[in-house]
Structure 1
Amino acid sequence: MRFRQTLLSRYLLIVIFAFLFIPIVFPLASIGYVIIQENSKQADDNFLKYGSSRELTAMWHGEAALLQETEAAEVDRRLQELKRKYKEASLFWVDSSGATKLQLPPQSLLPERWSPADAVRFMKDSIDSDPFTIVSFLGAEHKGRAFMVMQMPRSIIQLDRPVGAGTPFYIAALIGMISLFFLISLLFFRRIRKRLIGLQAAMALQGENGLPQPIAISRNDEIGQLETAFNRMVGQLKESAERERAEAELRKQLIASLSHDLRTPLTVMNSQLYTLQKEPLSEKAQAAVKQVEHKISGLDSLIENLLSYTLMASGRYPIKLERLDLLRIVRESVASWYPLWEQEGISADIDLPEEAMLLTLDKAGFRRVLDNLFQNVTRHAKNGSYIGIRMGTYDGRAALVIRDRGNGLAAHSASKGAGLGLAIVEYLLHEMKLGWHMASSDEGMAVYIFEL
């Protein structure tokens, strides 16, 4: 991946811009401010009616240089011409003796004869005041004592622009550049956040097969590499799920075929045992036949459990939930098992209340749970010669308790058939929203079944 395509390169570009902002951008902004100010000033001068004060002053000095005190009539005539040109101006001139000559227009505040003090006071009052005052001595070299004066309202020669009027534009430019920097940073991190949130959403979103869907790769940067790795992982998960599905299907078919192939010879063996039992046999032979019959029955039950567990693992075991009386199902199951318990010498201690205990159950499934638990007692706890079935409590909740006096959990765990049967019990109870607990001790085992 090329460096310029990485998030690091783009972030470094933003950082470099930030470092260059103060030493470079501020001077550039200052130069731009000065240029704008100068251009604005020239534009203002062009907009003025009689030009700027500097231009007006140069004109007045030029006119005074062309006039002589000895030509008083010429001075009056020229002032009258200037008055017609500069209508807003006030003009007058004073000769070398201090006498005020022509006034355009007449001004009552002007002294008729000027003393040095009057001249100094007039100049002092005219500095930075309104009207704008220009004083120029007559003659080419301005060395005479006669002088002429022009007074012009300042509103005519300058716009109403305060000093530093361009400062708001300067500040606005700086704020704009700072805002641009923050906007670029915000957009950069916002885009990263948006892509990460999109990746997170893709991880949480599941398709029809329960797996995340691949996402489109927008850029070939670090997040793009992460997106590529995510798509690769999704592809591997899909391949693994497909392989697992195929293996599960193959396993199911294999178990179904194997169960069918095993049941056929078991049926033949059962028929042969039935024939053999009709023959006169010694006690030892009869015991052997009975043991073989018992093992065949256990093997048949194991095959049935294997088929059922395969259906459960694939989610295809039928469950029909309805409100049923749990105690009635227990009594029906106990009635079917009672003859076998008598035959095996197991004493059954049944103590169930008469009132109904309604729960949401699958009747066939709960019968299967009881059959597996009773079968475990019959096969693995027969030495205790006892099975107790009664109502009790577990963790403060009403519970059905099935108790034996066998060797405890070790004896049950030693048999693979018992383990498969208990796995079926756990699955069926979970589907019926029932909990269960096994408590083992030296005195035997107790199984608690209760509503969650």
Structure 2
Amino acid sequence: MKLRLGLRSYLLLLNGVSIAVILVSVSVTYRYMLLSWNEYVLITCITVGAGFVSLLVHALLTRPLARWIRVLAGETQRVASGDFNTDVPRIGPLEFQRLAAQFNQMSGTLRELFDRLHASEEARSELIANVSHDLRTPMASIQSFVEALQDDVIQDRETFDRYLQTIRLETRRLNGLIDDLFELSRLDAGALELRQQPAAVDSLIVEVLQSYYLHLSEKQIEVDVRLPEDLGPVWIDAFEIKRALGNLLQNAIRFSPASGAIVIEARECADAYVELSVTDQGPGIAEPYQDRVFERFYRTDPSRGREGGGGAGLGLAIVKSIVQRHGGEVGVQSREGKGSRFWLTVPQTRMF
């Protein structure tokens, strides 16, 4: 039969056994010291009393330790059940206080990990739902138009051409979404090698503006470029940063009113970085949503997604991934009804 004892009982048992061994040894020693019987009994009683007092003191001193062990056991049970909001009091001996501090640190780390895991799971579920929506909607539109054309429902040439144009646009939208998803997966996997070289900021902005010249002309948007005269080159992968700037400019064009204005600005920052920003005159972003606009598939107004040309919500996520690979940062400053200013930073010197 296996004997199960608690820590306090185990310590008391050990103390009792040691005292018993001492008493027997002392008693035998006293017996051979040529003491009278009365002296022998008196000294033995004193020794036994001292041993009893020692056992009592030991029992009193181990009570706080046993209580602390019960507290720790209760907290570990809460952690085992999934509750990480625990805080063990730092009481008792120094070693126990250190153990409590380490336990609280472990509990806090686990809480952060599970919070991130929970947020990641929610983001994954939202990602799947948004991908499904953004794929299903154009596919349904294409299917309905193709069926209408196959069934000879459309007789006049003008409507027929308009249906074909819609199918072409939806197909292009699908291709863009798939390309963005593929781009993000490659960025996350680190499959894209950065080819960083010195690049002039003014040439970079000019090339981006040339790519979006037709979009700017269609909405008659003026662009104001502001560059310091003494701004030096930046150390970047020009193709990647042009992609990031292009995404910011595309968003600015999409949400700017017709005949509006967009400001593209560059300025030197501390720690050998350059900040590039794109400011529009759009509807702005409410403060509660500004921390999430760089998340994948996130839209401040889901109802304004495809219908308003809001895209799939991957452009800003790609911008963030590209800039982080360069060691920079991204951000947004916005007020509702006052437009938005998106910015990113890139290094002026070789960072890696």
TM-score (norm 2): 0.50
Which is greater in Rg?
1
Return the structure number with greater relative CO, CA threshold 8 A, min gap 6: 2
